[in-house]
Structure 1
Amino acid sequence: MKKWILSMGVLFMLYGCGSVPLTGRKQLLLVSDQEVLSASLTQYSDYMKTAKKSTSTKDASMVTRVGKKIAAATEAYLKQNGLESEIQNFSWEFNLVKDDQVNAFCMPGGKIVVYEGLMNLVSSDDELAVVIGHEVAHAVAKHSNERMSQQIVAQYGSAILSAAVANKSAAVQQVAGTVYGLGAQYGVMLPFSRKHETEADYMGLVLMTMAGYNPDVAVGFWQKMSAGSNGKVPEFMSTHPSDATRIADIEKALPSIKAQYGKK
C-alpha cells in the first residue's frame, strides 16, 4: 500500500497533475488530450455506424438546440477563465438515437448522444439541459482521461514510473478497450464513478445556468428520473449517488450557483 501511495504521489508530481474547471479538484491525467480523443473517437464512430438516428424531428431539434446553447456557454466560460486552449479539444456533435433506454452520454470531444427513451421523461428544454449539462461536464472535467489514467496505474503498478509512461501509447490502447466499447453490457462507455457523477451534477448545473436555463427544475427532474419508466430505475441512474443524496446536494448547491452564475 505504501508503495502504491508513493507511486501515485510521484506520478502526480512528475506527469499528470491537473485541475478540474469549476471545482478545482486535483486529478491524475497521464494520457494526453490527443490520445484520449483518438481512442474515444474511434469508439464513437463505430457506435454511430450501428446506431439508428431518431426520426423525431421535434425531439432531435430539441437535443441540438439545448446542446448548442450549453456548448456555447461552456466555451465562453473557458475563454473567460484563461482556458481558451481547451476549446480545441471539442468538436461538438448532438445526436438523438432510436433506443428505448433512458440514457445519454457525452464522449470526449463533445460527442453527445441522447436516447429516445430518455426523451419520454423530458418535458422542457430546461429539463433536457439538466442531462446535457451533466454529460458535457464529464467531458469538460476530463473524467475519461482520469479514468484511463487510473486504469493504467492499476494495471501497471509501480512499473508505470518507467516503461509505461515512457511508452504509454501501448498502455493507452490497451486500457481504452476497458474504458470504451464494451458492447451491450455497458453500451458505449463504462459508468463513471460516483465521485465523477457527483462532480458532473454540480458542474452540469453551473453550465446549464450559464446557458440561461433554469437549474431549479433539476430537483424535480432527478426525482422523476429516479422513479424511472414503468417502475424501473434507468441505467443512467445506476451508478449515480443515491436519490436522497443527489437531491440534497443539488438543493444545497442551487442558491450559490444561481447567485454566482445566473443572469444578472
Structure 2
Amino acid sequence: MNTLNSRSSTPRRRGGVRWWVILLFGLYAAWYWFSNQQEAAFTGRAQLIDSSVQEEAALGLQAYREILSQSRVLTQGQAPAQVKQIAERLVAVGPRVEATLAAARNAKPSIAWDAYDWQVSLIQSEQANAFCLPGGKIAVYTGILPIAGNDSALAAIMGHEIAHALLRHSAERMAQNKLVNLGSMAAGVAISDMDTQQQKAVMAVMGAGAQYGVLLPFSRDHESEADEVGLMLAAAACYDPREAIGLWERMGQASAGQAPPEFMSTHPSGSTRIAHLERLMPQALEIRAAFCGK
C-alpha cells in the first residue's frame, strides 16, 4: 500500500513534446493550404484566401466610414479633383490590363469587378500616405502630394494602393495570420509539459520565426506585387511610369534614417523597390504604348 502511494505521489516527468499535436496541426495546415488556394489576378501567383470578395468589401466599407468620420475630408478645389480624376483613369483601365496580362500567361481574367464600389477621398493630414481598402475604398492624405509632385507619380502611388485591393492582399494576410495563430496554439498545447521557462523560450523562438520568416516576407512580397501591378495600371492609364523611380527616390529622402532594416520591415527598402521598378519599366512602357499610342 505504501509502495502504491509513493508511486502515485511521484511528480510527473516534465519536458516532453506532444508530437501528435504537431502532427494533427500539420495535417490540418496542409488541408487548409491546398483547399483554399487560388490564382492571383494579374500575376497568376498562387495565394491562400478563404473569404469572399463581398465579405472583404463589407469590412472595408465599415473601416472606411469610421476613418472618414474621424478625418477632415476635402471636397472642393484642384487637389480633390486631381485625385478623383487619377482614380477614375486607373480604375477604368483595370479590366483591360487584367485581360492583357492574363492572356500573356494563357489564363482567363478572374476579378469580380462588379463587387468593387469605387470611392476616393482626399484627407487633410500631414501623413505621407494613401490606402485602398477591400471593395475599392481609396483615401489619399494631403501630406503625400508634395512628395509625389506630379500626376504620374501620384498615379503610381494610387495604382499601388488599388492593386492591393484587386490582388486581395488583405484577405491573404488574414488567412496567413489564421494559420500562424493556430500554429501558436498547437505549439502551446504540444509543449505544455515543459517547465515555464522552457515554454517561454520555445514560444519566443517560434514567434520570431513566424514574424521574420513568414509574415514580414509575405508582406514585402505583397508590396512588390502591388508595385508591379500599380505601375502597369498607371502606364495603361497614360501616365508616365518612369516617374515612379523619382517618386521612390523622394520617398527615401523624406524618410531618411527612419526606416528599419528591410528584414524587419513590412516594406522593401527604397533601393530594392527602385531596382524592381527599373526591371519592370520596359514592360510598363510597352503597355503604355499599346494603350495610349505613344
TM-score normalised by structure 1 residue count: 0.78
Please say if 1:153 is aligned against 2:179: yes
Aligned position for 1:121: 147
Residue of 103, 117, 129 corresponding to 2:129: 103
Letter in 2 for 1:259: E
- 1:56 positional shift: 5.7
Q: In 1, are the aligned partners of 2:73 and 2:124 still within 8 Å (CA)?
A: yes
1:1-264, aligned counterparts within 5 Å? 6-14=27-35, 16-54=36-74, 57-78=77-98, 82-83=108-109, 86-157=112-183, 193-228=219-254, 239-260=266-287, 262-263=289-290, 264=293
Identity of aligned residues (%): 33
Larger Rg belongs to: 2
AA matched with 1:7: Y
Q: Is the 8 A contact 1:36 1:108 kept in 2?
A: yes
In structure 2, the residue matched to 1:176 is none
CA contact (8 A) 1:90 1:109 kept: yes
Query: 1:152–1:122: structure 2 CA closer, same or farther, 3 Å change rule?
Result: same
What CA distance in whole angstroms lies between the structure 2 residues aligned with 1:138 and 1:48? 20
Kindly provide the CA deviation profile for residues 34-57 of structure 1, in whole angstroms up to 9, marking residues without a partner as x.
221122211111111111112661
Q: CA–CA distance in 2 between the matches of 1:35 and 1:206?
A: 27
Q: Check conservation: 1:78, 1:87, Cα contact below 8 A.
A: no
Letter of the 1:132 counterpart? M
Q: Secondary structure at the match of 1:193?
A: helix
- Aligned partners of 2:33 and 2:266: how far apart in 1? 27
Amino acid at match of 2:139: V
SS at match of 2:149: coil
Give the Å deviation of 1:85: 5.7
Root mean square deviation of aligned Cα: 2.8
CA deviation digits over 1:112-153, x for unaligned, max 9?
100010012122211110100100010110001101111222
Taking structure 2 as the reference length, the TM-score comes to 0.70
Unpaired runs of 5+ residues, structure 1, are 161-191
Q: Deviations over 1:17-70 (max 9, x none)?
A: 111122111000011222211222111111111111126611111100100000
1:135-194, Cα deviation, whole Å (9 max, x unpaired):
00101100011011112222234999xxxxxxxxxxxxxxxxxxxxxxxxxxxxxxx811
Classify the secondary structure of the residue corresponding to 2:239: coil
